[in-house]
């Protein structure tokens, strides 16, 4: 029987200034798959599969006043995805027109990382684990 703190990851939710452009960036740039187009309390949304994870995209609702990303602040900074070869992944993403924010570098003896940036300032870390 599962305990009250036995968590499993469910999804990431990204608010978009341009739903269509953000969907295109994830599908064409990162190879995400569209898994659904549910309605989200009055606005269209898109559910993507990225590395097996659910990523939900949606625009602002009429009663929301979302602001453009600004300077760094406390709170969520990025999310990370595991890749088998960060250098090869960055090369492929660059060919697809994805902005490489931080080139691959050795974070530690156990990992090599890079960062990409998408629409609305969404930052994604690419992590290559070393054994």
Cα separation, 97 vs 26, in Å, equals: 11
pLDDT single digits (tens) 51-101: 899 999 999 999 988 888 777 777 788 999 999 999 999 999 999 999 999
Lowest-pLDDT range of 8-12, 56-60, 97-101, 123-127: 8-12
Assess contact for 90 and 126: CB atoms under 8 A: yes
Reported as half-sphere exposure (CB side, CA atoms, 13 A), residue 47 has a value of: 11
Q: Which residues neighbour 16 within 8 Å (Cβ) at sequence distance 6 or greater?
A: 22, 57, 58, 59, 119, 120
pTM, 2 dp: 0.88
β-partners of residue 82 are 127
Please answer whether residues 22 and 118 qualify as being in contact, where contact means their C-beta atoms are separated by less than 8 angstroms: yes
What sign for the dihedral angle of Cα 101, 106, 107, 110?
positive
For the chain, list the domains and their CATH numbers: 10-61 (3.10.180.10), 77-131 (3.10.180.10)
pLDDT of residue 72: 75
Find all residues with CB under 8 Å of 27, minimum gap 6, and list them: 33, 34, 48
């Amino acid at each position: 029987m599962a305990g009250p703190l036995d968590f499993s990851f469910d999804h990431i939710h990204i608010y978009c200034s341009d739903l269509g452009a953000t969907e295109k960036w994830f599908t064409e740039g990162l190879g995400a798959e569209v898994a659904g187009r549910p309605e989200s309390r009055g606005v269209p949304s898109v559910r993507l599969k990225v590395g097996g994870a659910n990523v939900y995209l949606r625009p602002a609702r009429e009663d929301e006043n979302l602001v453009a990303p600004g300077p760094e602040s406390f709170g969520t900074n990025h999310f990370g995805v595991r890749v088998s070869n960060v250098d090869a992944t960055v090369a492929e993403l660059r060919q697809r027109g994805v902005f490489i924010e931080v080139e691959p570098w050795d974070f530690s003896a156990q990992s090599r990382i890079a960062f990409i940036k998408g629409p609305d300032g969404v930052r994604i870390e690419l992590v290559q684990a070393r054994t």
